[in-house]
A and B are shown apart, each in its own frame.
Chain A
Amino acid sequence: MAFPMARSGQTGTAEADAVPLDGVKPRRREKVSAAPIQFSDPLLILSAPRSFSSVVCAMLGQHPQMYGLPETHLFADEMMDRWLDRSSRETYRMTHGLLRTVAELFYGEQTIESVRHARGWLTRRTSSTTGLVFEELALQASPAILVDKSPSTVYSLAAMERAHRFFPQARFIHLVRHPRGQCHSVLKLIKELAKPEYQRGREREVGAVPAWLTDLASFSYSPQGYEDKPDHADVDPQRGWYVLNRNIVEFLKSVPAHQWITIRGEELLTEPDLGLAAIAAWLGVRGDREALELMKHPEQSPYACFGPPGAGIGNDIFFLKDPVLHPGRAEHHSLEGSAAWLDEGRGLLPEVKELAQRLGYQ
Chain B
Amino acid sequence: MITELDGLIAEATAETHEPVRQALASVQPIFILALPRSHSAVVCAMLGQHPQMYGFPETNLFCAPTMEKWREMCDTSRFHMADGLLRAAGQLLYGEQTEASVKAAEGWLSRRSHFTTSLIFETLAEMTGGLVPVESSSTLVSRPAALLRILQMFPLARFIHVVQHPRGFGEFLMKRIHEAAKQGPVPHWMLNLASLPGVSASDDGTPHREPGFDPQRAWYVLNVNACEFLKQVPDDQKVLLRVEDLSWEPLPTFGRIAGWLGLRTDQEAIEAMTHPERSPYACLGPPRARFGNDSSFLLNPEFGLPPTEAQTLDGPLSWSPGAKEFLPKVSELARRFGYQ
Which residue of A is nearest B67, CB measured? A129
Are B278 and A29 in touch, CB under 8 angstroms? yes
Interface range on chain A (Cβ under 8 Å from partner): 20 to 34
The answer for the CA separation of A2 and B91 in the assembled complex, in Å, is 37
Interface check B286, CB cutoff 8 A:
yes
With A23-B100, A24-B286 given, is the CB distance from A31 to B94 under 8 Å? no
Interface check B98, CB cutoff 8 A:
yes
Are B114 and A79 in touch, CB under 8 angstroms? yes
- Kindly list the 7 A-B residue pairs having the minimum CB-CB distance in the complex, ordered from nearest: A35-B95, A23-B98, A131-B111, A23-B99, A28-B280, A21-B100, A168-B107
Interface check A361, CB cutoff 8 A:
no
Interface residue SS majority, chain B: loop
Binds A, one of B126-134, B168-176, B309-317: B126-134
Interface check A316, CB cutoff 8 A:
no
A25 to chain B, nearest CB (A): 6
B31-57 CB mask vs A (1 if < 8 Å, else 0) is 000000000000000000001001000
The answer for the CA separation of A34 and B91 in the assembled complex, in Å, is 10
B47-84 CB mask vs A (1 if < 8 Å, else 0) is 00001001000000000000000000000000000000
Set B54, B98, B99: member contacting A32, Cβ < 8 A: B54
The answer for the CA separation of A165 and B108 in the assembled complex, in Å, is 9
Set A26, A135, A169: member contacting B111, Cβ < 8 A: A135
In addition to A20-B100, A32-B131, A129-B114, 4 A-B residue pairs with Cβ atoms within 8 Å of each other are: A31-B54, A37-B95, A129-B110, A131-B111
Are B98 and A36 in touch, CB under 8 angstroms? no
The answer for the CA separation of A32 and B100 in the assembled complex, in Å, is 19
Are B96 and A36 in touch, CB under 8 angstroms? no
Q: What residues make up the interface of A, taking CB atoms closer than 8 Å to B?
A: 19-32, 34-38, 41, 78-79, 127-129, 131-132, 134-135, 165-169
Residues from 119 to 153 in B contacting A, C-beta threshold 8 Å: 127-129, 131
The answer for the CA separation of A182 and B103 in the assembled complex, in Å, is 36
Are B114 and A30 in touch, CB under 8 angstroms? no
Are B103 and A169 in touch, CB under 8 angstroms? yes
The answer for the CA separation of A21 and B97 in the assembled complex, in Å, is 9
The answer for the CA separation of A167 and B110 in the assembled complex, in Å, is 9
- Please name all residues of chain A whose beta carbon is closer than 8 Å to the beta carbon of B274 when the two chains form the complex: none
With A20-B100, A25-B98, A132-B112 given, is the CB distance from A168 to B280 under 8 Å? no
Which residue of B is nearest A128, CB measured? B114
Set A25, A34, A165: member contacting B127, Cβ < 8 A: A34
Are A168 and B103 in touch, CB under 8 angstroms? yes
